[in-house]
Amino acid sequence: MNEYHPIANVILDLLKKEGCWHKTFEHEAVKTSEEAADLRQGYELKQGAKALIMIVLGKDGQADKKKMLVIPGDRRLKNKRVRKFFKTRSVTFASKKEADEITKIKETNYVPVEFGGVPPFGNLFGLEVIVDPALLENEEIVFNAGDRRFSVAMKSEDFVRLVRPVVARIT
């Protein structure tokens, strides 16, 4: 494996330690879920786990909580459903600066994850993870592992076991 973001090794070590089947892909840097799906042979866009770091605003309009939402690559968030789930009027995407701060963790020598390459393992960053059930309808999911040039596929059931996400219809 070439030198990718250290979170890739953290995830691969976890999958090996937990006895999880997985497959890795090295590919050109991708900017969109569609580009990633084209390069991940044998996988469809709907299997791509798109991880989004969100800032849930409190009633006073100030940033309240940081969360990770994970949705299939072929879907878009429904803002109304997300706001209803969090019982708030406003939810925003984390800025690059905010995402960099959130993804700087000890296990990666405080190197932030590449923006656009955030893996759906929000638990590694201290984030609660909310996943749309449509993603879990796939036997296998695939995602960027900290770098837009490196992807990992794994069983959905193992993802649920390791990440323990809240399942909510948010797309």
Domain ranges of the chain: 6-167
**What are the pLDDT tens digits along the chain (171 aa)?**
558 889 999 999 999 999 999 999 999 888 888 988 888 889 999 999 999 999 998 766 666 789 999 999 999 999 999 999 999 988 999 999 999 999 999 999 889 998 889 999 999 999 999 999 999 999 999 999 998 999 999 999 999 999 999 999 999
Q: Rounded to the nearest 5 degrees, what angle is found at the Cα of 125, between the Cα atoms of 22 and 41? A: 30
CATH number of 6-167: 3.90.960.10
What's 52's DSSP letter? Answer: E
3 Cβ contact partners less than 8 Å away, ≥ 6 residues apart: none
How far the first Cα of the chain sits from its last, in Å, is 34
Radius of gyration from C-alpha coordinates of the chain: 15
